[in-house]
Structure 1
Amino acid sequence: MSTFVVIHAFGSGPRAWQPQIDALGAEHRIVAPELPGHGDTPGPLTLDRATAAIGEVIAAEPEPVHLVGISGGGTVALLTALAVQERLAGLVVSGASARPGGTDAVQRAVMGLLPAGVLVGMFKGMYSGGRPEYLVTAVEDLRRAGRQTLLAGLRELGGVDLLPRLGEIGVPTLVLSGEKDKPNIAHARQIAAAVPGAELRLVPDVGHLWNLEQPELFSRTLTDFAAKTRR
């Protein structure tokens, strides 16, 4: 049995991992913590607070874990790996960034002008993986996180540059990006090039939060990786 600690996207929540919990929970331990500023967990959301919270979760596990992060949760996973990699059996990040992209500042500025309802409308399709059965949960989680947390997450990602430190990661690492997630493919290539021995995999026909879009494929990707890296 492997233990997976899975980190949700900023503006999402632990329920976004329900397909993986359902698929893998009978044979593996799935721990899905809630990041600061989301749901019932007090804010504010900062990368330092998020990393500390995930580090505490990992420290409570009796065996090394496979750490999985998606979107902003992937950046938290990279930071956590740098802090507690001796407690990791493997690292999987998807749709993550380690350094701001050229258009990120413009995106933050535009989103900062939009009311909460408009932001929810913009993100609900992506945060449900484009699947109607996950839409209600996505909207609820976005509203519970709120505009302040969404914008805080974007500000945090815009102010971090992890690339010079990623060479310190010494655990087996899988870097993923959906081929439809065009803005994040360059980020994935950067991360994979910077982490020693990392595997880069561009996944056909999926977008950003593809653990919901193609849950069976995502779950199988995790278990295959864990089987190769179990220690």
Structure 2
Amino acid sequence: MPIVFLHGLGQKPGDWDPVINRLDKGSRTLCPNLHALERDGEDYPALYGAFERYCDGLEEQLDLCGLSLGGVLALQYAAEHPERVNSLALIGARASMPKALLKFQKLLFRVMPAESFGKMGLEKQSAIQLCTSMAELDLRPVLEQITCPALVLCGEKDRANRHAAEKLGRMLPNGEVRLIAEGGHEANRDAPEALSVLLADFYKRHAAVQNT
């Protein structure tokens, strides 16, 4: 059963390496490049459709672990395909989108040079369009359909998302919330050791329950 690691907007699959390298060496991991998935269009529905096809192409049940945008994709897939998801680990993810933060993010993207986006593996206009299309996304009405174990994580320094993480953990039927020591929003980059400890414990506990 693979653990599928999903990066955030502006990240690449390799940003998960410091975390994966600290997990059990027997863990099977997949890190798709979300920006490279074949899709029709550059908005969120097109990206989700491409991610959905990617997951459907994997025959086994999945342990999904996503950060920010990756966490939103994982959350929606688990709600729409609960039989395919064995567990969820969500870092800095939200069930409903913060319009003010998205608006600020778009403003930043507009003033950033185009070459900065090339390093992320996407085009500037694509990033802006993706942010715009997520503004009305709200997964709260379907959270009750997610019954698998769900670990909701947030960096101690990620004040913008901490309250949302605590609320999400309460709304998920089998959710639990943990803070990542010294972590910011991109905890896979700035606190990989603390993040890997929390993930390893979650997967170990979940595996023990399955084997009883």
The normalised TM-score by structure 2 is 0.85
> 76-85 or 102-111, which moves further after superposition?
102-111
How far residue 101 of structure 1 moved from its aligned partner, in angstroms, is 2.3
Q: Which residue number in structure 1 is paired with residue 26 of structure 2?
A: 27
Q: Which residue number in structure 1 is paired with residue 54 of structure 2?
A: 57
Residues 229 and 52 of structure 1: is their aligned pair in 2 closer, same or farther, counting only changes over 3 Å?
farther
Aligned length: 208
Kindly provide the CA deviation profile for residues 183-214 of structure 1, in whole angstroms up to 9, marking residues without a partner as x. 11122123112211210112231101111212
The answer to whether structure 1 residue 14 and structure 2 residue 13 are counterparts is yes
Kindly provide the CA deviation profile for residues 41-60 of structure 1, in whole angstroms up to 9, marking residues without a partner as x. 56633333333333333334
> 52-61 or 157-166, which moves further after superposition?
52-61
How far residue 75 of structure 1 moved from its aligned partner, in angstroms, is 0.7
Q: Which residue number in structure 1 is paired with residue 84 of structure 2?
A: 87
Kindly provide the CA deviation profile for residues 35-74 of structure 1, in whole angstroms up to 9, marking residues without a partner as x. 1xx2585663333333333333333434322101001111
Amino acid at match of 1:14: P
> Unmatched 5+ residue regions in structure 2?
none
Pick aligned residue for 1:160 from 127, 137, 142? 137
Residues 200 and 40 of structure 1: is their aligned pair in 2 closer, same or farther, counting only changes over 3 Å?
closer
CA RMSD after TM alignment:
2.5
Residues 195 and 146 of structure 1: is their aligned pair in 2 closer, same or farther, counting only changes over 3 Å?
same
Q: Which residue number in structure 2 is paired with residue 181 of structure 1?
A: 158
Amino acid at match of 1:17: W
Asked if structure 2 preserves the Cα contact closer than 8 Å seen for 1:91 and 1:172, the reply is yes
How far residue 153 of structure 1 moved from its aligned partner, in angstroms, is 2.7
Q: Which residue number in structure 2 is paired with residue 148 of structure 1?
A: 125
CA distance in 2, matches of 1:172, 1:224: 13
Kindly provide the CA deviation profile for residues 102-143 of structure 1, in whole angstroms up to 9, marking residues without a partner as x. 52354155236424359x4xxxxxxxxxxxxxxxxxx7642x
CA distance in 2, matches of 1:66, 1:111: 33
Asked if structure 1 preserves the Cα contact closer than 8 Å seen for 2:149 and 2:175, the reply is yes
Matches within 5 A, 1:1-231: 2-24=1-23, 26-35=25-34, 38-39=35-36, 44-101=41-98, 103-104=100-101, 106-108=103-105, 110-111=107-108, 113-116=110-113, 120=116, 141-142=119-120, 144-230=121-207, 231=210
> 56-65 or 150-159, which moves further after superposition?
56-65
Residues 196 and 34 of structure 1: is their aligned pair in 2 closer, same or farther, counting only changes over 3 Å?
same
The normalised TM-score by structure 1 is 0.79
Residues 109 and 68 of structure 1: is their aligned pair in 2 closer, same or farther, counting only changes over 3 Å?
closer
How many percent identity over aligned positions?
27
Amino acid at match of 2:204: A
Secondary structure at the aligned position of 1:103 is classed as helix
> Unmatched 5+ residue regions in structure 1?
121-138
Amino acid at match of 1:161: D
Residues 106 and 49 of structure 1: is their aligned pair in 2 closer, same or farther, counting only changes over 3 Å?
closer
